[in-house]
Structure 1
C-alpha cells in the first residue's frame, strides 16, 4: 500500500467512515478467519472484490466470508452455491439474492458501469444454467447483458435471425455443449472478441465437455478464446475486464 492510499484510509477512519477493524483490514489487505484469508485488497488491485467459490465450503464458512466482504465492499457474490448456503448467508445479510438456475448468491452490485453490451449466446436450453451464470455475473459486475438462447447450429436460421444483435455486442460469450461448433460460427460473424464456454452437456463421446473444449480450442475463427468447462463465471469476468479496459482507455484519451 502506498502512502497516498494509507492516508486516505486513515482519513476515513478519522471521520468515522471506517471502523477500526475495517481500517485494519484495508491496511493489511486481508483478514485471517482461521479456515481462510479474506482478500479485501482485491478490488483495489483488480477493480472487483473477491468472489466466493462456494463448492467445497461449508454453509458457515460461506456465511462468514460473505458477511465480511459485504461489510467491507457492499457487494458480494458466491458461485456454485446451494440452498443451505443461502439460508446461512441470509442469517447475516438478509438482502442476499439467490438464483437457483445460475447457482449464484448475490448482494449489492449490478450498477451499470460500462457503455457496451455483453451478449451471452447459448446453443441449447440445456446450456442455460452455465449461460445464466455468465449473464448474471456480467450484470453484477456492471455490464448490460443481451441474452440469446437456444440458437445452436442444428437450426442455424435461429442464430442468423439475430445477426444484427450479435454484431452490436461489445463482447460475446458463447456457451455450447455437444461438439461446440457454435463458437466458431459466431466468431465468423462478428468483429468483436468471442469467449467460448464448453459445457458438460452431451452424450458419451462428448466426454463431459472435453470434446467441445478441444473443438473450441482448435477453432478456425480468429478472435475466439476459451475458458474451462462450465465456467460461465470465468467468461463473464474476462468479458468485464475487457469492458473495464475500454472504459479506462477512453478516460486516458
Structure 2
C-alpha cells in the first residue's frame, strides 16, 4: 500500500464507506506479510516511497514466484534484480505486464505509470564491459521514475570521448560513474561537474584488479570532492541512491 492508497482507506473510514473494523483488518496486514520463507515489507512503500525490491540471486524459483504473486495483490510496480531468464519465464506465467532487461538482469512488472523526473540521472561507463552493471543502475533509476541519460565507453584511456560530452555531464542532476580496472572515471567526472557523483566499481579487470577491489579503493581514495561510492558491481544500489538524490532536487528539500 502506498501513501495515496492509505489516504483513500482513511477517507473511506471517515465517510463510513467501510467500517472501522474492516479498516483495522486492512491495516493489520500493512506492515508485512509472513509467507514462512519470506516476510514481505509492505510498509516500505509508505516509509521510503518505493515498494520492496526482490533480490532474486540465491532464492528458489518457487519462492520468487510466491513473493511476486503476493506483491501483485497490492497493484504496485515490481522490480526484481539479478533475475535469470528462468525467473522471467516463471513470472510471465502469472502476469502479462512483465518486461525483462536481459543485460541488466532485471524483471519489471509495471502496474501503474510513474511520472518521469525533470532532473536527469546520467550513467557513464569506463568501458563496454562495464555496461551490464551500468544497465542495472539505469533501469533501476528509470523504474523509480527518473529520466536517464546513458554515456557509455568514455573511460580515461580515451578521455577525449568524455570531454566531448561535457554538456551532457553538466546537464545531469546526478551522475553514476561505473568503471573497473583502476576505476579512475569517477575522479575525472568529479573534477568536472557540480553535481553529486555516485561511483560504482566493477569487477572488470585483470588479476591485480582483485575482482573490483582496486577500482573500489581508487574511488574511495579519490581526491575529487562530491563522490560517494557503493559496493562492487552494485548497480542497483547506485540507481536507487541516484533516484533519492534526484527526487530531493525535484521536489525541494523541506525538512
Tell me, yes or no, if structure 1 residue 175 matches structure 2 residue 174.
Answer: no
Q: How does 1:1-253 map to 2 (within 5 A)?
A: 8=10, 11=13, 24=26, 27-108=29-110, 111-249=114-252, 252=254
Question: Equivalents in 2 of 1:174, 1:45: separation in Å?
Answer: 28
Which deviates more, 237-246 or 204-213?
Answer: 237-246
Which deviates more, 26-35 or 74-83?
Answer: 26-35
Cα 1:130–1:166, aligned 2, differ >3 Å: closer, same or farther? same
Contact 1:121/1:175 (8 A) holds in 2: yes
RMSD after superposition: 2.6
Please, which runs of 5 or more residues in structure 1 have no aligned partner?
A: none
TM-score (norm 2): 0.89
Please, which runs of 5 or more residues in structure 2 have no aligned partner?
A: none
Residue aligned with 2:244, SS: helix
Offset at 1:15? 5.3
Contact 2:119/2:249 (8 A) holds in 1: no
Which runs of structure 1 show a deviation greater than 4 angstroms over 4 or more consecutive aligned residues? 4-7, 20-23
Contact 1:60/1:85 (8 A) holds in 2: no
Offset at 1:245? 1.8
Question: Equivalents in 2 of 1:228, 1:110: separation in Å?
Answer: 30
Cα 1:244–1:150, aligned 2, differ >3 Å: closer, same or farther? same
TM-score (norm 1): 0.90
Contact 2:179/2:201 (8 A) holds in 1: yes
Question: Equivalents in 2 of 1:219, 1:232: separation in Å?
Answer: 19
Offset at 1:7? 5.8
Offset at 1:6? 9.7
- 1:41-89: per-residue Cα shift (whole Å, max 9, x none)? 1010001000000001011111111222222142001000001111211
